[in-house]
Amino acid sequence: MRHLLITGGCGFIGVNLIRYLLSPKSGFTGVIINIDKLTYASQPHALVEMPTDRYHFIQGDISDLRLVEQILQEYSIDTICHLAAESHVDRSINAPSAFMQSNVMGTFTILEAIRQNNPHIYLHHVSTDEVFGSLHEDEPAFTEQSPYHPNNPYSASKASSDHLVWAYRHTYGLPITMSHATNNYGAYQHQEKFIPRMLAGLLQRKSLPLYGDGSHLRDWLHVEDHVRAIWCILQMGKIGESYNIGANNPYSNKDLLHLLCQIVANQQTVPVEDLYALITPVADRLGHDYRYAIDAKKIEVDLGWRAQINFQQGITNYVRWFIETYPH
């Protein structure tokens, strides 16, 4: 793997992946080319210090076939890690069109560019546990065999892109792997997402809107554990296989918000009750999935990856980073 194209490399997971790969601890020795459209969600400031001999940035849209083909040829791309997507469920409910364009047509364009130019390029497609839909309290966590059951425009667009990727594997034999991860947290996440949005509200002592009764359960994964898992798959993943990535940290939104209040109260030495008082229940999200949970046994057993970051430690360190760098 010498010439790695990362799509959406200026997003939350992308910047963490690029920073990790270009650090000595990863062992990656090749060159990274990052194509990103620079939407509102992007965090290009996180990449300003990347070494110019090993990192090239191209501002562009993955739906532009000519541009993608030109990049594959000009940089002799041998591997693609495909992250680019519209990623916020609330936006997908209010304005789904961009999700279909970037997530479905964008993935289609990447696949076509590979098929038409060099069908030996290895593609890793980064997907989400949300394609499997919603679990009840007592149901077992999603495995790689769980059926698809997307419930909102975001997860439907990601499920569509997954289906396209599998179809190109089956029909044209393209060398492909895929992964489905749970909710990520960590540095450089856009402030529209739950944890940074609540932290920004806490620092400004503004009201903290909590959907419904706050009982919805999410399974939290530190973004640095996620990017190590992606790197593990890029090196050792078996072609044609899918891997679930999770750390088994289930929290209801309400419990997580209480925890954030406690950490901020500790770090700013203010009474936690003052922060709890900011929590404001609001009307539930349309079609809100109740629970996501990932069974990560396959990647643990087959590839030897395991989440390393303890949730309490990881979230406390993230809150500290957020306070130090706020406003970003």
Ligand X SMILES: NC(=O)c1ccc[n+]([C@@H]2O[C@H](COP(=O)([O-])OP(=O)(O)OC[C@H]3O[C@@H](n4cnc5c(N)ncnc54)[C@H](O)[C@@H]3O)[C@@H](O)[C@H]2O)c1
Closest CA to 78 of 8, 5, 22: 5
Instruction: Give the three-state DSSP class for 14.
Output: helix
Choice from 4, 18, 20, 61 touching ligand X (CB under 6 A): 61
Of the candidate residues 92, 177, 183, 249, the single one contacting ligand X (CB under 6 A) = 183
- Stretch of residues binding ligand X (CB under 6 A), selected from 12-20, 227-235, 262-270, 274-282: 12-20
Catalytic residue ranges? 129-130, 154
Q: Are 192 and 88 in contact (CB under 8 A)?
A: yes
Touching ligand X, residues 144-163 (CB under 6 A): 158
Query: How far is 7 from 63, CA to CA, in rounded Å?
Result: 11
Q: Specify the residue for token string 């209010």.
A: 94
CA distance 47 to 11: 10
CA distances from 168 to 162, 214, 228, 232 (A): 10, 40, 26, 23
Choice from 128, 151, 152, 242 touching ligand X (CB under 6 A) = 128
| DSSP label at residue 139 | S
Three-state secondary-structure class, residue 291:
strand
4: contact with ligand X by CB under 6 A: no
Among 18, 22, 32, 41, binds ligand X (CB under 6 A): 41
Pick between residue 85 and residue 319 the one whose CB is nearest to ligand X.
Answer: 85
Count of positions (residues) in the chain: 328
Cα dihedral sign, 58-222-111-99: negative
Which of the residues 72 through 101 are near ligand X (CB under 6 A)?
Answer: 83-87
Shortest reach from residue 42's CB to ligand X, in Å: 3
249 binds ligand X (CB under 6 A): no
Binding of residue 42 to ligand X (CB under 6 A): yes
Give whichever of 5 and 202 is closer to ligand X, judged by the CB atom: 5
- Contacts with ligand X, residue ranges (CB under 6 A): 7-8, 10-14, 35-39, 41-42, 61-63, 83-87, 102, 106, 126, 128, 158, 181, 183-184, 190
